[in-house]
Structure 1
Amino acid sequence: MLQRILTFFERNSFGVCTYLGERFNISTSKLRLFFIYTSFLSVGFPLIVYFFAGIVLDFRNYIKRRHTRTTDFL
């Protein structure tokens, strides 16, 4: 049951921790723990930052996909 929950969140998450981990060369699991612990300590403020970053990353990926589709026709 726990493995199914972990698999669900890994597939459906925004990829913010993965992106930040690759960008700053930090372990993804340490970043996830950081977000979890700080959200408990500061009453959820890092979750707002996480969702905002996820929306921005998703928008960037959408723009990149859209740009490559239009340049493929040229």
Structure 2
Amino acid sequence: MKIVQSLRYFFEKRGFEVSSRLADKMGMRVTNVRLFFIYISFITLGFWFGIYLTLAFLLKLKDMVYTKRSSVFDL
């Protein structure tokens, strides 16, 4: 049981916040979105895991491009 909890903590800590952002946009709980990705990845043999990584990359890229600058001198 402890291994499962440590594995879950590892993936929640380094999960790129894709699930939480999607859950916020759709008004759902984060655990339901994560379970959806897990079940769909088993059914489709990892196709949704690729989509998950693509979304993580795009969200990270969006964060890097659209950073909020406090003043003109931060350029």
TM-score bracket for the superposition, by shorter chain length: 0.7 to 0.9
For residues 1-74 of structure 1, what are the structure 2 equivalents within 5 Å? 1-65=3-67, 68-69=68-69, 72=71, 73=73
TM-score after normalising by structure 1: 0.83
Structure 1 gaps, min length 5:
none
String of CA shifts for 1:12-65, please: whole Å, max 9, x gaps: 111111000000101110010000001001111100110000000000111122
Percent identity, aligned pairs only, is 30
Q: Which runs of 4+ in 1 moved over 3 A?
A: none
The CA RMSD over aligned residues, in Å, is: 1.6
For residue 8 of structure 1, what is the amino acid of its counterpart? F
Going by fraction, where is helix more abundant, 1 or 2? 1
For residue 36 of structure 1, what is the amino acid of its counterpart? I
TM-score after normalising by structure 2: 0.82
Structure 2 CA distance for aligned equivalents of residues 43 and 2 of structure 1: 22
Structure 2 gaps, min length 5:
none
The structure whose RCO (Cα within 8 Å, separation 6+) is larger is: 1
Aligned length: 71
